[in-house]
Amino acid sequence: MKDKVIGIGIVSDLTGLTERQIRYYEEKQLIFPGRSKGGARKYSFEDVDRLKEINDKLRDGFHTFELRKPGRLCSE
Amino acid sequence: MKDKVIGIGIVSDLTGLTERQIRYYEEKQLIFPGRSKGGARKYSFEDVDRLKEINDKLRDGFHTFELRKPGRLCSE
DNA sequence: CGTGTAAGGAATTCTGACACG
DNA sequence: CGTGTAAGGAATTCTGACACG
């Protein structure tokens, strides 16, 4: 379930999110996909669930920087 | 685990088999991958295990036609 | 801020075939 | 029989940018 083996196209199908959204969440450090030799992003099923959750939260009014994993412990 | 979401390249990495072997086993009806809209083969983790098993059997001397799922119920 | 899109390139996968044995 | 490879095309994904707001 933690194997990073799913391509972004399938993840898009699975989550209903656009590839743009998925890449943006990575840019904002909310998700950390693996990469194939060629550089293609690879996700796990856990990542898929996490992506759905992120999108839900965003629709609830949260901002990307509020959804980082750790929670705090960033600057102290 | 039964979700057909893994591309043939990753399956090749996961199983150690070449893409040629993986496609050949499909041609011989030993494995049944899904397809993306564009026609790319998509496999499940179950398929990955099945592929390893198929290759093991072949190395043990079996032939592809002896490894079909059903077992018999083909011509009677 | 979060997301859409057009742009050009690079990597991936597909099929049918010839090869060996 | 099971697998390797070169061949050309089609689909996938990548990055950086401009856009809106």
Residue A42: beta bridge partners?
Answer: A7, A34
**Average confidence (pLDDT) over B53-63:** 97
* Nucleotide C21 C1' to residue B50 CA (A): 28
Residues of B with Cβ-Cβ distance to A9 under 8 angstroms: 36
Share of chain B above pLDDT 70, in %: 91
A36 and B5 within 8 Å at the Cβ level: the answer is no
Q: Which nucleotide is nearest to A19 (CA to C1')?
A: D13
User: By the 8 A CB rule, do B44 and B7 touch?
Assistant: no
Query: Across residues A5-13, what is the average pLDDT?
Result: 98
Residue type, B27: E
**Mean pLDDT value of segment A8-23:** 98
For the cut 60, the answer to whether the pLDDT of residue B76 exceeds it is no
Within B1-76, residue ranges assigned H as helices are 8-15, 19-27, 45-59
Please report the pLDDT score of residue B6 as a whole number. Answer: 98
Q: Which CATH architecture has domain A6-67?
A: Orthogonal Bundle (1.10)
**Three-point CA angle B26, B31, B34, nearest 5°:** 90
Position A70 scores a pLDDT of 66
The secondary structure of residue B65, as a DSSP letter, is G
Give the CATH architecture of domain B6-66: Orthogonal Bundle (1.10)
> What's the per-residue H, E or C state across chain A?
CCCCCEEHHHHHHHHCCCHHHHHHHHHCCCCCCEECCCCCEEECHHHHHHHHHHHHHHHCCCCHHHHCCCCCCCCC
Mean pLDDT to the nearest integer, B60-70: 91
- Cβ-contact B75, B56 below 8 angstroms: no
Q: Cα torsion for B12, B17, B18, B23, to the nearest 10°? A: -90
pLDDT at position B70 over 80: no
Averaged pLDDT of chain B: 92
Through-space separation of residue A25 CA and nucleotide C14 C1' in angstroms = 32
Rg over CA atoms, chain A: 13
Chosen for mutation from B2, B4, B5 (greatest number of chain A CBs closer than 10 Å) is B5
* Residue B39 CA distance to nucleotide D10 C1' (Å): 10
pLDDT of residue B69: 75
- Give the integer Cα–Cα distance in Å for B71 and B76: 12
**What's residue A69's pLDDT?**
76
Each residue of B16-34: pLDDT tens digit? 999 999 999 999 999 999 9
